[in-house]
Amino acid sequence: MTGKLKFRAVLAVAVVALASAGAIGTAEARTPPVTNIVGGSTETTANVPWMIALNNSNSSSPVGQYCGATLVKANKIVTAAHCVTQPRSTYTAIQGRDNLNTGTGGRTSKISKIWKDPQYGQVNGHDVAVLTLTTPFTGVATLPLETSRAADAVGAQSVTYGYGETEGTGPANRLQKVLVPVLGDAYCNDVYAGEGYVSNGEICAGYKAGGKDSCQGDSGGPLVLNGRLFGVVSWGLGCADAGNPGVYAEVASYASALTTQINN
Ligand code: ARG
């Protein structure tokens, strides 16, 4: 894959929406063959109760699979700005459901408010959003935000989670996790020089050799380090391809704006 996927996402959705109103792809163009979280293993929401499936009724997925998100307060979830291009009423947040194919289990909530980082789309980075739930997931463990940019250090053992593409490495629409060590800003500045990687606002994580990565449909979901929300799945060129690691919005860079929204 070539091109700047984070912007292509918006384009792909727009094009498909024009072609058939009401039917859109996952948050981004798919790269065949398909896998959910590539090279990961199955996880249960019992272990990660703050994991949220952000479904969308305009999604082309039969189960509405669309993006991920993280519960950071009983009534607030953090996701990616590029995940919130659809009308507010089309979203459903799902907590506690391991298998989206079943259509049951766990708790659901509609969205009463969407805040998208106002700089998203104007400058690179800023791929973060905070959504307010109409029905708070009371009593569910939340993840605190990472507020220190020093956490973005080469070799940090971060883990990402999602229900997205597996490229054949796992079952579709089931929660998966995968360890993606931090590769560091210097590496992504190099390999993504033409893609506008932002050191002060993004995290470069995965494997130089490829094989394990987040993928389409995982966007908006968490990258977790030390029990905190360290990153938000944002973009990459293809998935799990050598030399093209995953890029995650760096939560610490946006922590103050996020906290304002979370407390509001
Ligand atoms: N932008 C994608 C989404 O909308 C996530 C891409 C992550 N890609 C990667 N190679 N880590 O679901």
Cβ-based neighbours of 133, under 8 Å, separated by 6 or more? 74, 75, 76, 77, 93, 109, 110, 111, 112
- Ligand 1 centre to CA of 9 (Å) is 9
pLDDT tens per residue, range 232-253: 999 999 999 999 999 999 999 9
The pocket around ligand 1, CB under 6 angstroms, is made up of: 5, 9, 27-28, 164, 213-219, 233, 235-236, 239, 246
Asked whether residue 208 is domain-assigned, the answer is yes
Asked whether residue 103 is domain-assigned, the answer is no
**Dihedral pair phi/psi, residue 116, rounded to 5°:** -115, 135
For residue 189, the enclosing domain spans: 149-254
pLDDT band for 28, please (50, 70, 90 cuts).
Answer: very low
- Ligand 1 centre to CA of 71 (Å) is 20
Q: What is the pTM of this model?
A: 0.88
User: What CATH number should be reported for the domain holding residue 187?
Assistant: 2.40.10.10
pLDDT at 202: 98
pLDDT band for 19, please (50, 70, 90 cuts).
Answer: very low
Asked whether residue 98 is domain-assigned, the answer is no
Q: Which amino acid is at 226?
A: N
The torsion region of residue 71 among left (phi > 0), alpha (psi -120 to 50) and beta comes to beta
The ligand 1 atom nearest the CA atom of 213: 11
pLDDT tens per residue, range 196-206: 999 999 999 99
Residues forming the active site: 82, 127, 219
What total of structural domains would you count in the chain? 1
In this predicted structure, the answer to whether residue 14 has a pLDDT above a threshold of 60 is no
- Ligand 1 centre to CA of 107 (Å) is 25
Asked whether residue 48 is domain-assigned, the answer is no
User: Which pair of structure tokens corresponds to residue 155?
Assistant: 């070799």
Mean pLDDT in residue range 119-145:
98
- Ligand 1 centre to CA of 242 (Å) is 15
pLDDT tens per residue, range 166-193: 998 888 899 999 999 999 999 999 999 9
More confidently predicted of 202 and 35: 202
The ligand 1 atom nearest the CA atom of 214: 11
Asked whether residue 91 is domain-assigned, the answer is no
Residue of 198, 206, 215 whose CA lies nearest to 243: 206
Query: Closest residue (by CA) to atom 11 of ligand 1?
Result: 246
pLDDT at 170: 84
In this predicted structure, the answer to whether residue 127 has a pLDDT above a threshold of 60 is yes
Asked whether residue 128 is domain-assigned, the answer is no
More confidently predicted of 98 and 28: 98
pLDDT at 79: 98
Other beta carbons less than 10 A from residue 16's beta carbon: 16
pLDDT band for 151, please (50, 70, 90 cuts).
Answer: very high
Asked whether residue 188 is domain-assigned, the answer is yes
C-alpha–C-alpha distance, residues 136 and 150, integer Å: 32
% the chain with pLDDT above 70: 86
Say whether the peptide bond before residue 33 is cis (omega within 30 degrees of 0): yes
In this predicted structure, the answer to whether residue 6 has a pLDDT above a threshold of 70 is no
Q: Which amino acid is at 134?
A: T
**191, 202, 234, best to mutate for ligand 1 pocket (most atoms within 8 Å of CB):** 234
In this predicted structure, the answer to whether residue 1 has a pLDDT above a threshold of 50 is no
% the chain with pLDDT above 90: 83
The rounded Cα 115 to chain-centroid distance in angstroms is: 16
In this predicted structure, the answer to whether residue 89 has a pLDDT above a threshold of 70 is yes
Asked whether residue 190 is domain-assigned, the answer is yes
Mean predicted lDDT score pLDDT of the chain: 89
